[in-house]
Amino acid sequence: MPLFTGVGVALVTLFREDGALDAPATADLAAQLAGLGVRCVLVAGTTGEAAALTAEERDALVGAVRAALPAEVPVLAGTGAPTGRQAAALTGRAFAAGADAVLALSPPGVPDPRPYYAAVAEAAPGPLLAYHFPGASAPGIPVDLLPDLPVSGLKDSSGDAGRLLHECDVLAGDLYTGAASLVGLCGAIGAAGALVAAANVAPELCVAALGGDADAQVRLAAVDRGASADFPAGYKRAAAARFGTSVVTRVGA
């Protein structure tokens, strides 16, 4: 069984005016999005400003979000790091804090991440998803190595439609796109779903696009273009316009 099918959100992390973590507000936003059709919540991912969070703050986020969501909505924690040792430590903490699964971004500057994922998998008592996002951590994961990774699935945020189709051919596990522009394609090819930042702003459009609504896909892509232009602040401003949440960021501050 997939970790989830449908639309997941790469959740923003909310901060108070002084820059302190606001875990309760972040958890409240997660609960609102679940009520609007989101079927998985990723905390401490790229959109969640993971690099600006302490290990203790990650624990607090996972615990608060898990407590705020229905049991059937899994909490996925970002645990990628520059080394397998670091990622394994974050993975152990995430599960201990209540995560249902973890998502590990491939390490920077590593053309063959198989040893890295082996180390993370050893520390993971539950599902582990690999994360291909060369824009954040180059070079990413070569498609031909995917069958060798000890993972249950993959999130691909490259935005490369051809690669997504190739992955659908070679990956035995769950496939999710992290690109809002490819949500409709994921639905068309029978992929497990999408894990996108745009679901912070327009979860209903994401659900409709995944279900094959072409107009919703066009409108979703437009929403995402606007929100992603100033990352991650643009997503926070867009979410604040709809949900009244904080616009404070740590990245770039």
- Catalytic site positions: 131, 155
CB 44 within 8 A of CB 62: yes
The rounded distance, in Å, linking the Cα atoms of 49 and 197 is 12
- Cα distance between residue 169 and residue 141, in whole Å: 15
The H or E element that residue 43 is part of is strand 40-43
Name the helix (H) or strand (E) containing 52.
none
Q: Which residues contact 71 (CB under 8 A, 6 or more apart)?
A: none
* Residues 6+ positions from 215 with CB-CB distance below 8 Å: none
Cα first-last separation, the chain: 41
Q: Does 249 belong to an annotated binding site? A: no
Provide the annotated binding site for pyruvate: 47
